Structure 1
Amino acid sequence: MRVTVFGSGGVGGYFGALLARAGHEVTFIARGPHLEAMRARGLQVHSVHGDFHLYPVRATDRPEEAPPADLVLYAVKTYHIPETVGMLPRLLGPEGVVLTTQNGVEAPDQVAAEVGVERTLAGAVWVVSRIEAPGVIRQESAFRRVVLGELDGQLTPRAQAIARAFAEAGAEAEATAEIRKVLWTKFLFIAAIGGVGSVVRLPIGAWRAVPETRALLEQAMREIEAAARAEGVALDPEAVPQTMAFIDNLAPTATASMQRDVEAGRPLELEAMSGAVVRIGRRHGLPTPAHAFLYAVLKPVHLQALRNAGAG
């Protein structure tokens, strides 16, 4: 399979490397020192599942140089979607498809608006990985899971074939006829814990049992549950208590990824998290006070990080 990885950071770089190691023809779209290092020294993966090194690596910062792809693994951050999504049609081969990997629930439809529903697969990814240094990916979680599916809810041979390719490369992967439900169930967790954790800025053990803060967390989840229902997605009836129980079992030192972005001064995926809940709620006439609060408090933090990144 001919694969183009658009966004070669922790997610794209890691799963793209797995596919390349498995024998697929992979082109990485990257930039800056990470690109330079991959061109010069290849891509090094340090993983709890075993280290490996890819060399040589096909890598470019010019999407038009990538050969027509059977699969585009679209792994940019959500705040980079507006500036990159228009490049996707030219990356696809005649039967090519784009697989989204972003957090949140809006990216698949943003991609489908550019390439068509028939050329879009939605994906949900669970992995802990990051760029450790230019040309080096550090993967730290026992889990490395990909669930993908068609936007129309069909379980198609192509979705199953792509899931099989990930599985044969070493990931836990499956195709599903309920990808919208999968995305919203993940969203219920990450948008709530990410928003609250980013405001509190303490490890979860310091705040999950504080009654007032716990009530804010549950309210944030209930707003997402209501938004999903309004969008026609039926989450499991016990989705909120099950997610609360999962959070209660996290290590007390755990922090959400968006919280870590706040602490590091990086831009936030805020528009795809609380921003999306507020927008969807407004569209359906639903009150979303918890996420409106989280969005209002965190937006200046995000804007400041964007200004600092531009200055750099």
Structure 2
Amino acid sequence: MRMLMVGAGALGGYFGARLLQAGEDLTFLVRPRRAQQLRQTGLVVRSTFGDAELPNPPLVLSEQIAAPYDVVIVGCKAYDLGPTMDSFAAGVGPDTAILPVLNGMRHLDELGRRFGDERVLGGLCMISAVLDDAGRVQHLNDLHAISFGELAGGRSPRVDAIGQAFGRARFQHTASEDILQAMWEKWVFIASLAGITCLMRGTVGDMVQAGGKEIAAALVDECAAIAAHNGHAPGASALARNKAALASAGSPMTASMLKDMERGLRIEADQIITDLLRRAPGNGKAFPVLRVVQAHLLAYEARRAREARP
């Protein structure tokens, strides 16, 4: 199975390295700058599950793609999906499966419009990783999992084939028969975590110490109600885990969105928060905490855009 990993950043670099360690036929689609760095330093992963050092990882630039791949794994920021689709389009053929692990849901529609719904799988990943200044992947926690499946549910030969390839690599994987439910449950958690930590500009522990547990719980309930309105109410265990995670005293947990805000970077506010409100009943008017979160993030984006003007 020929796989194309779109990007060799923290996410793509980690899972791609694990697949290459397992002997899978995987190539990284990278930009020229990252290609030069990887040719000089190789791909290096530091993880409690074992390090990886790949001196000459297989690389390709967009204009060098010469034939379709069996699977294209997409893990870019959701706001970068447009140019990212352009970059890997030459690698998509009649039988290519596209496996996105982006946040939210809107990317499924965008990928389906561009390449055909029949080529698009559902997917999500759970990992905390960053690139350090030397371009090495630093795995920060004990999560390294990918879930994937057919959007219509059930199993298929291509899902089973991907599962067999992933099963040989050193990370957790789940071939889900209801991937949309899993994606909605992650969306509820990501929106709640990003919303409360960005709103409070601190960790979960900071928020709890400040007396914000009830606000966090209300935010989880609002996000879960929107999921239920769309036919994917989170299960009781998932809801309990979400609320417990956002009520943990001393927890250092934050969302990557907050880290991006602290660095003055672009954020996925539209894909994670605004699009969730678009799917709410009554135009989201009955979701006050989520609307405050949205206003806070939009104010950040407005200030960022203003300060970027010459």
Task: Give me the TM-score of the superposition, normalised by structure 1.
Answer: 0.89
Asked if the contact 1:124/1:148 (under 8 Å) is kept, the reply is yes
For residues 20-75 of structure 1, what are the alpha-carbon distances to aligned partners after superposition, in whole Å with 9 as ceiling and x for unaligned? 22222222122254221112332111221122211222324425526421111101
Structure 1 letter corresponding to 2:199 = V
- 1:203-218 residue pairs with structure 2 within 5 A? 203-208=203-208, 210-211=210-211, 213-218=212-217
Corresponding residue for 1:75? 75
Asked if the contact 1:103/1:187 (under 8 Å) is kept, the reply is yes
Tell me the secondary structure at the aligned position of residue 132 of structure 2.
strand
Corresponding residue for 2:252? 253
How much does 1:301 deviate?
Answer: 2.0
- 1:73-112 residue pairs with structure 2 within 5 A? 73-112=73-112
Structure 2 letter corresponding to 1:182 = A
Corresponding residue for 2:121? 121
Tell me the secondary structure at the aligned position of residue 207 of structure 1.
helix
- 1:270-309 residue pairs with structure 2 within 5 A? 270-281=269-280, 287-305=286-304
Asked if the contact 1:153/1:177 (under 8 Å) is kept, the reply is yes
Corresponding residue for 1:40? 40
Distance 2:100 2:176 in 1: 14
The answer to whether 1:11 aligns with 2:14 is: no
Distance 2:37 2:307 in 1: 25
How much does 1:276 deviate?
Answer: 1.4
Tell me the secondary structure at the aligned position of residue 246 of structure 2.
helix
More divergent stretch after superposition (102-111 vs 237-246)? 237-246
More divergent stretch after superposition (74-83 vs 103-112)? 103-112
Distance 2:261 2:130 in 1: 16
Asked if the contact 1:223/1:277 (under 8 Å) is kept, the reply is no
Asked if the contact 2:66/2:90 (under 8 Å) is kept, the reply is no
Would the alpha carbon gap of residues 310 and 79 (structure 1) be closer, same or farther in structure 2, given more than 3 Å must change? farther
- 1:155-170 residue pairs with structure 2 within 5 A? 155-170=155-170
Tell me the secondary structure at the aligned position of residue 124 of structure 1.
strand
Distance 1:14 1:66 in 2: 25
* Matched length: 310
Distance 1:16 1:298 in 2: 32
Would the alpha carbon gap of residues 205 and 41 (structure 1) be closer, same or farther in structure 2, given more than 3 Å must change? closer
Unaligned 5+ runs, structure 1: none
Structure 1 letter corresponding to 2:18 = L
How much does 1:308 deviate?
Answer: 7.0
For residues 227-267 of structure 1, what are the alpha-carbon distances to aligned partners after superposition, in whole Å with 9 as ceiling and x for unaligned? 21222223214543331113334752222221111112221
Tell me the secondary structure at the aligned position of residue 277 of structure 1.
helix
Asked if the contact 1:4/1:66 (under 8 Å) is kept, the reply is no
Q: Percent identity?
A: 28
Distance 1:161 1:310 in 2: 49
For residues 71-101 of structure 1, what are the alpha-carbon distances to aligned partners after superposition, in whole Å with 9 as ceiling and x for unaligned? 1110110110133234544212442111011
Distance 1:291 1:74 in 2: 28
Would the alpha carbon gap of residues 85 and 303 (structure 1) be closer, same or farther in structure 2, given more than 3 Å must change? farther
How much does 1:303 deviate?
Answer: 4.7
Corresponding residue for 2:242? 243
- 1:175-214 residue pairs with structure 2 within 5 A? 175-208=175-208, 210-211=210-211, 213-214=212-213
Distance 1:250 1:20 in 2: 39
Higher strand residue share: 1
How much does 1:10 deviate?
Answer: 1.0
How much does 1:218 deviate?
Answer: 2.3
Would the alpha carbon gap of residues 112 and 257 (structure 1) be closer, same or farther in structure 2, given more than 3 Å must change? same
Corresponding residue for 2:152? 152
Asked if the contact 2:216/2:246 (under 8 Å) is kept, the reply is no
RMSD, aligned α-carbons: 2.5
Would the alpha carbon gap of residues 307 and 89 (structure 1) be closer, same or farther in structure 2, given more than 3 Å must change? farther
